[in-house]
Structure 1
Amino acid sequence: MIIKLELLQGFRKVYWNFLHNYHKHVKLDMEGVFQLGIKTNYMLDHYIFHYFSSYIEYKDELLRSHRETIDVLSVPIIPLSASMAVLPIVGTLDTYRAKKVQERTLNQIASLKLQKIIIDLSGVAFMDTAVVGHLFRIVEGIGLLGCKAIITGIRPEIANTMIELGIPFTEKVDTKATLQQALEEYK
């Protein structure tokens, strides 16, 4: 990219140097030289504009493609049996990612016809208050599909946030301290 810009700048310098030397030896009228320079600059600027527009569109599409891949990989539903799966959530869970978790989880539950899903939160580094409420709505959506949600690995910070928000989580969903406990109980 930068090399192409340097090439265009180099071309422009060589071109103007050529016109300068040509004018010295051939004695063109100055009006013709300026008109030629204006046309050349217009064409080069037009090329640069379209080149960068295409380059930016390409990069945007590449970033969009990478984001879609990351979205798919950030919600890895792992089937354990024909009716049960695990959804390990790792990293920061923000509102955007919570929406992706919701979409992908509900779609996978429907397509795999799951009856139980274990959502493991032990790897969640941070979850803001809006996301805790959203997580509760995801669990309700899972229930609407006829699937039972089991939440494991709730960290003290998340439990504290749920208490402060007054979310009655335990009425709607089973909770276990660890993924291992849930797997042992639901073999």
Structure 2
Amino acid sequence: MNTIAYIKEELKTFINENETPFNQKLLTEAINVSTKITDILNKGNIDLLKNAKKLIFYTVDQQEAELISFAKVEGIAWAKHSLTLELKLEWVQAIRRTLWHFIRIIDEEKDILKNRDEYYGMEKLFNEKIDQFLNTFFLSYSHYKDEMLHKQREVVEHLSVPIIPIKQSISVLPLIGFIDSYRIKIIEEKVLNDIGESKIQILVIDLSGIAIMEMDVIDYFEKILAGISMMGCKAILTGLRPELVKKMVHAGIHFEQNAETRGTLQETLKNIL
């Protein structure tokens, strides 16, 4: 058995037989985390001490597939329970220091590492795996957070497209704020679905709360009006502001084919009702 393989087995045996001093050393190396061990366990069912041992064993055994899978699961768990990256980084660095602390103790007792090449070779193997764990963890954590933000934004955007029924088959859609390429797609989905489900025959779209639209959004909006018309619904646009009208005119955009344009929402509703 070569030197690195021998010290791997010695290290695992030592940690298994000295679990209490191993845990104590970890906690002294991570002061901020040590005070939150119980909270993290209760909050996310994450056993930091058990997971530290697992990370070390995957590292010294060079079990790359298991280590990557473990890092992905850990990343999701920490993101899901809103545990900070700062705490995770402190904990993993404490694990790294603890690992080398016990390697030094074993080597002093048994004089295993005979030269620098053996030491640096082992250092490269072990530290690369811990770095790989950290990188995979951070990517998994970030991906989960990005997905959560995307879903939250989707919910918010759906809520910001309020189609209000004012009479059977007649509804109003007041649009306010900035409409970007993402939001216009939400508007399309919500409008066409509601027309189909609620059998809307007249949809009044009030644009008085929209000061400006980018050209790609205007083009997309024109297609939405065509879709509304194809579904047998009449679209009426109200509240078009001068700045928006000017931009449409200069760009050659015309809505007359698929929608009526009227003045204010109040006047339009008065005439319809």
Q: TM-score range by the shorter chain?
A: 0.7 to 0.9
**Given that residues 78 and 85 in structure 1 are in contact (C-alpha distance below 8 angstroms), is that contact kept between their aligned partners in structure 2?**
yes
Change (3 A) 1:163 1:33: closer
Q: Is the 8 A contact 1:121 1:154 kept in 2?
A: yes
Select 1:134's aligned residue among 220, 226, 247: 220
* Aligned position for 1:17: 101
Indicate the SS of the match to 1:174: strand
Instruction: Sort the Cα spacing of 1:11 and 1:133 in 2 relative to 1 into closer, same or farther, 3 A.
Output: closer
Within 5 Å, which residues of 2 pair with 1:1-187?
A: 1-24=85-108, 26-30=110-114, 37-38=123-124, 40-170=126-256, 172-187=258-273
Note the C-alpha offset of 1:156: 0.2
CA deviation string 1:131-153 (max 9, x = no partner): 22332332222122111111111
In the TM superposition, residue 63 of structure 1 has moved relative to its aligned partner by: 2.3
Q: Distance in 2 between matches of 1:40 and 1:10?
A: 14
Residue identity (%): 38
Measure the CA separation in 2 of the matches of 1:126 and 1:85.
24
Question: What is the TM-score of this pair, normalised by structure 2?
Answer: 0.60
Of Structure 1 and Structure 2, which has the larger fraction of its residues in strand?
A: 1
How far does residue 100 in structure 1 lie from its aligned partner after superposition?
2.5
Secondary structure of the residue aligned to 1:16 is helix
AA matched with 1:71 = E
Instruction: Measure the CA separation in 2 of the matches of 1:39 and 1:162.
Output: 63
CA 1:44/1:168 → structure 2, altered by over 3 Å: closer, same or farther?
A: closer
**Structure 1 Cα separation of the partners of residues 265 and 130 of structure 2:** 62
C-alpha RMSD over aligned residues: 2.5
Q: Is the 8 A contact 2:211 2:244 kept in 1?
A: no
The Cα shift of 1:180 comes to 1.3
